Chains A and B, each alone.
Chain A
Amino acid sequence: MWRQVRPYLEATAGVAAITAGLAALASRLPVANLSLLYLPWVVWLGARRGWGPAAAASALAFIAYDLAVVPPVGSFAVGDLGQVPALIALLVAGLATGQLGAAARAARAEAEARERESHDLYEVATAALRVPEVATALDLVRRRVEALPTVGSAAFCAAEGDHLQTVAGQDLSPDLRRQARWAWRRQTPLGLALDGERLRLLRQAGATEQVGILPLAAGVAVVRFQPPELSESDLRLLAALLGLGGLLLDRRRAALEAERARALAASDRLKAAVLSSFSHELKSPIASLRAGLTGLLAPGARLGPGQRDLVRTLDLEAAHLDRLVGDVLALARLEAGESVRAEPVAVPELVGAVLHRLAPELGEARIEVHVPPDLPPAMADELQLDRLLGNLLRNAIQWCTPGGTVTVGGRARADRLVVWVENDGPPISAEDQEHIFDTFWTRRQGGTGLGLAIARRIAEAHGGELRAYNLRRGPRFTVSLPLATPVAP
């Protein structure tokens, strides 16, 4: 009460003192417009005490000047009409300067508030960013939010998938957690509104405590507050602090992702190293075996026909073992998630390379190729596609009738490249259809039961598919792969 009345008493006292002085001065020194001497006082009041005291002082000065200085003294009557404009000017100028002073005061208060805000934010931000652990930094921000007037408590929760984990502040109640998840999923604030940089708290009539939930880049901020309303500057500070919390949550997410990527890469390296060492351990003895056995087939070794036959059979066994090991390792690499290094691949030349490699295995089979040389390139890992085509062709060669024909064809259809391999062997029974792509399932003597399983996995790893059909002339395997957009040189 006293604080509110005091400026008015000051204004009154000041006006009284100035009037007394002016009255004494006017009796000795008749000067027009002595009333101007009130103005500095009115301006001072406006700047220091606000517009109310300044306006009151201005009105009082008007009355007191008329009563005590303008002749006839002691009466409201104005003897000289020329004094009337001066009196009105005094009133208007008083009110106007009071207003100016008050505006200057408000501006200064605003500037001070902004400076305080920036300073606070700077302190929190530098402290938070200096802390290496994101959770500690978030806790610093949370404590600053809770220091704002009317704010009860605050919490920052990080989103991990659909789950929210409280990183700073107290755990949310189940009810609040549900609301927070809702806000996060829809990226919609609850209990507050954000227009650009401006934050507004939405109040429910009669509520004693309310909750505001703001979704951030990598989580949500939850703030409980009680009426009355926060000041504009505190709201700005709150918005900035929540923004800072958002940055920290984002930093936490990036750090976690980097950590996960490192762990994944380490596990991939480990898998690759284990498979590579396995490959070496398993293949080295087979290599010595095959080199030794085939070495004995040279005429210089002087083996008899029966012995040569035995050695050749043993080498075939060794070669079979080699293929089995190769297939098992290839399957292991695919199952370990071997990456697909996709690039535009010219399928006609790859078919040519595979057929050239398989020439020694052809036996009596004939190959017919219906792959146009200008087929657009597929988007594929060349080595994996090489293995896929090799497996399909080897399967077809082994199933076709003696002296029969294996056909390879290809064409582009919409955004897919379709390649098929067919043979003139017996059709695949309905029962077998269900198993031919299973691992270690084979109907063939000496087959590994892996060739088609690997082929299908490679097709699927490329976002394509591999299917088997029975045509009238024999079984057909069709693989579809994504087309690459060719880049003209």
Chain B
Amino acid sequence: MSGRVMVVDDEPEMQRALRVGLGYHDFQVRTAASGEEALRQVPGWRPDVVLLDLGLPGLDGFEVLRRLRQRDDRAAVIVVSVMPDERDKVRALDLGADDYVVKPFGMDELVARIRAVLRRQAAVAHGEPVVRCGQLLVDLGRRRVTVAGREVHLTPTEYELLRLLALNAGRPLTHRFLLARIWGEHALGDTYNTRYIVAQIRRKLGDDPTHPRFILTEPGVGYRLQA
């Protein structure tokens, strides 16, 4: 699987490392040293994935992300940053980032994340009604959930949470996102609700929280469905 990747990073060494490294994996790579430059280049080149550093000079990564999302651009955004604070991750995801990778990272990890995002894009483009995650099958058309062929009965709230995770398989979803989608904006602030529902879903799916097969916990952030 290949695609167009735009690297937005102000460090020339990082730009070069990614251009060369991703090139070996058959990606087409372009680089931008600032947010302004990235916003100029994206509409013309139409990358599939933007690797966005948060600590940019001038327009910072959050602002670039906000403007990209305002334009309704189809490019997936993976935030790549030295982040000492988990709140930055949550903020980037809530602004519409598809995933994040913490610097320093190995190229294998980065490539795996890029491929996961590209797969997800392809699945969304084809409107696939069934999401598969190992033995877990979520049939979004028929609202049916099975584990190894055995049907699992979920309450409407549990199904809605699992549906959101399935629609975004592989993408971390923040507590804030899940709370707002399921209970509305007024429910924001208490992560205990999502934790409780996820515990119920895991129990019904036979997913051991200490050895999760389907739903992964992202400490300080939220949950993601194993892709």
**A contacts, CB < 8 Å to B:** 275-276, 279-280, 283-292, 294-301, 315, 318-319, 322, 329, 333, 343-344, 346, 348-356, 369, 371, 373, 382-383, 386, 408, 487, 489
Bound-state CA distance A51–B17 (Å) is: 108
Report the minimal beta-carbon distance from B189 to chain A, rounded to whole angstroms.
Answer: 11
> Which residues of B, 177-216, contact A by the 8 Å Cβ criterion?
191-193, 195-196, 198-199, 202-203, 208-212, 216
Bound-state CA distance A383–B199 (Å) is: 19
Excluding A280-B55, A294-B106, A294-B107, 8 further A-B contacts by CB distance (< 8 Å) are A283-B104, A286-B104, A300-B24, A348-B209, A348-B210, A353-B217, A356-B216, A371-B210
Q: Smallest CB-CB separation from A372: which chain B residue?
A: B210
Q: Is the CB of A283 within 8 A of B217?
A: no
Q: Smallest CB-CB separation from A278: which chain B residue?
A: B84
Q: Is the CB of B107 within 8 A of A343?
A: no
Taking residues whose C-beta sits less than 8 angstroms from the other chain, chain B's interface range is 35 or more
> Which residues of B, 131-146, contact A by the 8 Å Cβ criterion?
none
Whether, in the assembled complex, B23 has its beta carbon less than 8 Å from a beta carbon of chain A, the answer is yes
Type the 1/0 row for B14-40, where 1 means its CB is closer than 8 Å to any CB of A: 101110111111100000000000000
Q: Is the CB of B212 within 8 A of A344?
A: no
Q: Is the CB of A352 within 8 A of B17?
A: no
Whether, in the assembled complex, B151 has its beta carbon less than 8 Å from a beta carbon of chain A, the answer is no
Whether, in the assembled complex, B82 has its beta carbon less than 8 Å from a beta carbon of chain A, the answer is yes
**Contacts A295-B17, A329-B84; A283 near B210 (Cβ below 8 A):** no
Which of A287, A296, A386 interacts with B104 by CB under 8 Å?
A: A287
Q: Is the CB of B26 within 8 A of A383?
A: no
Question: What are 26 of the A-B contact pairs (CB < 8 Å)?
Answer: A276-B85, A280-B82, A283-B82, A287-B104, A287-B105, A288-B13, A290-B105, A291-B17, A291-B21, A292-B13, A294-B108, A296-B21, A297-B108, A300-B24, A343-B191, A348-B209, A349-B199, A351-B209, A352-B210, A353-B217, A355-B211, A356-B212, A373-B202, A383-B219, A386-B220, A487-B192
Q: Is the CB of B55 within 8 A of A289?
A: no
**Contacts A346-B195, A349-B209; A318 near B104 (Cβ below 8 A):** yes
Bound-state CA distance A130–B105 (Å) is: 62
Bound-state CA distance A296–B210 (Å) is: 35
Which of A284, A333, A344, A354 interacts with B14 by CB under 8 Å?
A: A284
Q: Is the CB of A288 within 8 A of B24?
A: no
**Contacts A298-B25, A348-B209; A353 near B218 (Cβ below 8 A):** yes
Bound-state CA distance A288–B84 (Å) is: 17
Whether, in the assembled complex, B86 has its beta carbon less than 8 Å from a beta carbon of chain A, the answer is yes
* B209 contacts across to A, CB distance below 8 A: 346, 348-349, 351-352, 373
* B82 contacts across to A, CB distance below 8 A: 279-280, 283-284, 287
**Contacts A290-B106, A295-B21, A371-B210; A285 near B217 (Cβ below 8 A):** no
Q: Is the CB of B217 within 8 A of A298?
A: no
Bound-state CA distance A276–B82 (Å) is: 9
Q: Is the CB of B107 within 8 A of A291?
A: yes
Q: Is the CB of B192 within 8 A of A355?
A: no
Whether, in the assembled complex, B73 has its beta carbon less than 8 Å from a beta carbon of chain A, the answer is no
Q: Is the CB of A288 within 8 A of B211?
A: no
Report the minimal beta-carbon distance from A372 to chain B, rounded to whole angstroms.
Answer: 9
Q: Smallest CB-CB separation from A390: which chain B residue?
A: B219
Q: Is the CB of A300 within 8 A of B26?
A: yes
Type the 1/0 row for B163-182, where 1 means its CB is closer than 8 Å to any CB of A: 00000000000000000000
Whether, in the assembled complex, B11 has its beta carbon less than 8 Å from a beta carbon of chain A, the answer is yes
Whether, in the assembled complex, B103 has its beta carbon less than 8 Å from a beta carbon of chain A, the answer is yes
* A322 contacts across to B, CB distance below 8 A: 104
* A280 contacts across to B, CB distance below 8 A: 55, 82
* A285 contacts across to B, CB distance below 8 A: 13
Q: Smallest CB-CB separation from A351: which chain B residue?
A: B210
* B191 contacts across to A, CB distance below 8 A: 343
Report the minimal beta-carbon distance from A325 to chain B, rounded to whole angstroms.
Answer: 9
Q: Which of A291, A329, A346, A371 has the most CB of B within 10 A?
A: A291
* A286 contacts across to B, CB distance below 8 A: 104
* B195 contacts across to A, CB distance below 8 A: 344, 346, 349
Q: Is the CB of B105 within 8 A of A489?
A: no
Bound-state CA distance A99–B82 (Å) is: 92
Q: Smallest CB-CB separation from B13: which chain A residue?
A: A288
* A356 contacts across to B, CB distance below 8 A: 212, 216
Bound-state CA distance A298–B84 (Å) is: 29
* A319 contacts across to B, CB distance below 8 A: 104, 106
Which of A275, A289, A291, A373 interacts with B208 by CB under 8 Å?
A: A373
Q: Is the CB of B18 within 8 A of A352?
A: no
Bound-state CA distance A344–B191 (Å) is: 9
Q: Is the CB of A300 within 8 A of B25?
A: yes
* B17 contacts across to A, CB distance below 8 A: 288, 291-292, 295
Q: Is the CB of B203 within 8 A of A373?
A: yes
Q: Which of B11, B82, B86, B203 has the most CB of A within 10 A?
A: B82
* B108 contacts across to A, CB distance below 8 A: 294, 297
* B86 contacts across to A, CB distance below 8 A: 383
Which of A295, A351, A371, A383 interacts with B24 by CB under 8 Å?
A: A295
**Contacts A275-B84, A280-B55, A291-B17; A298 near B192 (Cβ below 8 A):** no
Bound-state CA distance A387–B177 (Å) is: 25
* B24 contacts across to A, CB distance below 8 A: 295, 298-301
